[in-house]
Amino acid sequence: MKLFLWALLALLLPVLASCSSLYFPPPPQVPLLTQKGEFSGGIYTNLDNNVSLQGAYAAGEHLGVIGNASFLHNDKKKKSLDHDFAEVGLGYYTRLKDRRVLEVYAGLGGGHSKRIERDAEKVVTRTLEGGLTKYFVQVNYSSKDNSNVHVFGRDFPITYGTAMRVSYLQLDNFKLDNVATLGEENVFIEPITYTRLQLVGPVQFQLISGSNFGLRQRKYLKAANAVFNFGIIVNIGGQEGKR
């Protein structure tokens, strides 16, 4: 029942949020590294076909490197969206006494976003385009909650976790209807929860659900898109135990 409620909330978030912003947040990366040499990789998408590829590597006993690239290309009757974004980060990870994992990362990213709006006759009414620069800090923590889902005569372990990301974003080289316009900047707070379902071996299904809050009132760079993604994650070379 608890898993069902989490999934229902995650599905409702994209519906409740509008989509007028030029910023489409990629899912926060939660590799939960545990020891040197471990690799984590994942692929995610959402209901808007925003695809994200992620990779993380434990370069040292407590040093982790993360990378993320996301792509959104939609061409609908009333609007077209083209959004490409990539980010990298460096941080600290540690295994706690209760076998949970704590991670802290900081990094930067950049990309390009374009939005074309049309009326009912498919005539272009507005075009927005600009470059994005981002700086972020993020904390990941795997919780103690865990349970099992019994399907097809087999138990699939489920674990939960949380993450908090704070990002400073700049909209540069901004053009409104192909006319150079003053850009914007904003600070976003993105709290998320994630649920992992162990499928087989190191392969897990992960559902990410969260919110996006903008601390400043902006017209084109605002928190209009909720954080919701689902996909597959693989951890290789890490310590055993729930996380």
H/E stretch holding 86: strand 79-95
Helices (H) and strands (E) in the chain — how many of each? 1, 12
Rounded distance between C-alpha atoms, residue 10 and residue 229, angstroms:
9
pLDDT at 198: 87
Residue ranges of the chain whose pLDDT lies below 50: 1-19
pLDDT digits over 96-151, tens only?
Answer: 888 789 999 999 999 999 999 998 888 899 999 999 999 999 999 997 666 777 67
pLDDT at 9: 42
pLDDT at 150: 67
pLDDT at 146: 66
Rounded distance between C-alpha atoms, residue 225 and residue 166, angstroms:
15
First to last CA, the chain: 21
pLDDT at 78: 85
DSSP 8-state symbol, 36: T
Q: What is the set of domains in the chain, with CATH numbers?
A: 2-236 (2.40.128)
